[in-house]
Amino acid sequence: MFKNVIVRVPSKSVVEGISSANLGKPDYNLALKQHELYVSALTKTGVNVTVLEPNDEFPDSCFVEDVALCTRKCAIITRPGAETRRNESALPDLQEALSKFYEHIEYIKAPGTIEAGDIMMVGDHFYIGESARTNREGAEQMIAILEKYGLSGSIVPLKEVLHLKTGLAYLENNNLLVAGEFVKSPEFEKYNKIIVPEDEAYGANCIWVNDYVLVPEGYPTVQKAIEDLGYKVLVVDTSEFRKIDGGLSCLSLRF
């Protein structure tokens, strides 16, 4: 169960966020409203939400998930692969917020790069995507830190998607949402796979929080499949974050 969540309010510069989506620039005011509704959905799951102030210097900084991995034993500050995001992980308010919850905080060091959007937690094991943003050195450093605390990790090479969790979402109870290149991955054979249809691939980025599942708005097949498994579903519109390659999981640290 999760007790705490950290989010960062989108800044006005969010319209300049990194994008490969070709969906146009986000509407700042609509992004703010969607973010408020996202936080509201999270509070319904019973977590305490720490809200960090917007930071105009970093257009993508609302995607707070990428800059730290929060485990039950320690927090690990990452080193983002995107150059424009490299210094987000050093922001004092983030470090201060994490230090309130964690006695042990570790750091990924150069030349390693890793973004936690590439990391999927299943119990005490962490699947780490080797991607354009996460290199082998970063993944190996992360695994070494996890093992220091009695946790484990394994590397999954990515071919198509931006981040591992672009196409995977672990919903606890052995249930795994799977899209695109991961449908036939041998690493995930042991799970009860819920295959996401190609035309709803973005909907694969859901998040489980205390027996609720947050699902992006507009993906009815995904929503129904999750409801059929017995989860309580909260639907959240993320249209403006999709325009800058973001989804539900990217917008929070959950621990």
Confidence of residue 39 (pLDDT cuts 50, 70, 90): very high
Is 250 catalytic? The answer is yes
Residue 213 domain flag: no
Name every residue whose Cβ is closer than 8 Å to that of residue 230 and which is 6 or more positions away in sequence: none
Asked, for residue 211, whether it belongs to a domain, the answer is no
pLDDT tens for each residue of 127-143:
999 999 999 999 999 99
Confidence label for 162 from pLDDT (cuts 50, 70 and 90): confident
Residue 20 belongs to domain with CATH number: 3.75.10.10
Arithmetic mean of pLDDT over the chain = 97
127 lies in a domain?
Answer: yes
Residue-level pLDDT at 20: 86
Q: pLDDT tier at 90 (50, 70, 90 boundaries)?
A: very high
How far is 185 from 127, CA to CA, in rounded Å?
12
- When pLDDT is averaged across residues 180-193 and rounded to a whole number, the result is 96
pTM to 2 decimals?
A: 0.97
Residue 99 half-sphere exposure toward CB, CA atoms < 13 A: 7
> 138: left (phi > 0), else alpha (psi -120 to 50), else beta?
alpha
Contact between residue 188 and residue 178 where contact means Cβ atoms under 8 Å apart: yes
Residue 125 is a catalytic residue? no
> In this predicted structure, what is the pLDDT of residue 76?
98
185: in domain: no
Q: What is the count of structural domains for the chain?
A: 1
Query: Does 124 fall in a domain?
Result: yes
Marked catalytic residue, from 35, 62, 74, 163: 163
| Catalytic pick among 70, 74, 206, 250 | 250
Q: What percent of the chain has pLDDT over 70?
A: 100
Does some domain include residue 212? no
d(CA 121, CA 128) in angstroms, rounded, equals 9
Structural domain including 60 reads 4-164+236-254
Q: Does 219 reside within a domain?
A: no
Q: Is residue 126 part of a domain?
A: yes
